[in-house]
Structure 1
Amino acid sequence: MTHDPTEETSVWRPLRQLLNSLDDEIDQFYAQRGITGVRPRFVGPLIRLGHRGTMTIRELADALEVTHSAMSQTVAALRREGLVRTATGSDARTRQITLTDRARRMLPLLEAEWRASEAALRELDAETPYPLSRAVADLREALERRRFRDRLDDHLPPS
């Protein structure tokens, strides 16, 4: 049997754990204010719908720069939590998404949390000797020079 590579040190696991811990703290913020059924990943779509009104899943995905599949899953979760309603659009394949009254009542708090989170993240970024925002930009530049798939292929044994 070969060695289990998931037991090795992961380059990206600490970043995922950091992001998860930040999301957990935002969840605690909502819980302390009696907000239930809202996950941090819901907030962007809710705020965008609040400002733009009814949108299709595709429009919402494009506006927030995520895949249609990811937004479709998020919208399904928002619907289960009673935060959005969906209706058939101009054709049977299109779904129109609108906020419920419950979601509209939450918007001022969600927007305040979004702004406060962004301010806190900028503060954290400024406290580090090499800001994460700079690291992300540098990684994007490196991937523009040579995409990840090519790098991955170089580390795989020939088939």
Structure 2
Amino acid sequence: MRHLIELLDGAVQDAYVEAGLDYRPRFTPVMRALAGGKPHTVSQIAEVAGITQPAATQTVNLMVKEGWLVAQSSPTDARQKLLVLSAQGKRLLPKLQACWRATAAAADDLDTELPHPLSDTLARAIEALERRPFGERIRKAKE
């Protein structure tokens, strides 16, 4: 599984470099969540992106540091930070979206060569693991 992820993620990273973008694939769920222009809290990003709160927090902090996002105080709750795309994020969004379209087309192409589409298999694996986590399956296998 790690080798598959390395092959896919490495190629996606290379596509960003070729497009002249200093961008990490892990930023994509956050960028997609904010692409509509509406500010989000970290919790909202985590929910929309389907990632954990700690992963969202870590990614958002890195993206703010690298200039992709800006954190603003919420007008209704000063304790809460709202995140939006920075000027850099807005300017580079069209290039990113072109990369995402190319990546989706490449994934569709890969699916045509497989006996069962990888995207369907992964979606079903995620659903199965959400019903019964892998850790639970390991514990049961030890019995």
Q: TM-score range by the shorter chain?
A: 0.7 to 0.9
- Distance across 1 between alignment mates of 2:132 and 2:38: 39
Tell me what 2:117 maps to: 131
TM-score, normalised relative to structure 1: 0.77
Equivalent runs, 1:114-125 vs 2, <5 Å? 114-125=100-111
* Percent identity between the two aligned chains: 35
Distance 1:87 1:33, change over 3 A: same
Equivalent runs, 1:1-159 vs 2, <5 Å? 15-36=1-22, 38-89=23-74, 90-140=76-126, 142-143=128-129, 147-156=133-142
Match of 1:51, SS? coil
Quote the offset at 1:35 in angstroms: 1.4
Distance 1:70 1:152, change over 3 A: same
| Segments ≥4 residues shifted beyond 3 Å | 90-93, 137-150
- Distance across 1 between alignment mates of 2:71 and 2:44: 14
CA RMSD of aligned residues (A): 2.2
> Which consecutive unaligned segments of at least 5 residues does structure 1 have?
1-14
Could you report, residue by residue, the CA deviation over 1:124-153 in whole angstroms, capped at 9, with x for unpaired residues?
Answer: 012111222332344356557755343222
Decide which moves more: 117-126 or 21-30: 21-30
TM-score, normalised relative to structure 2: 0.84
Quote the offset at 1:68 in angstroms: 1.2
Quote the offset at 1:106 in angstroms: 0.6
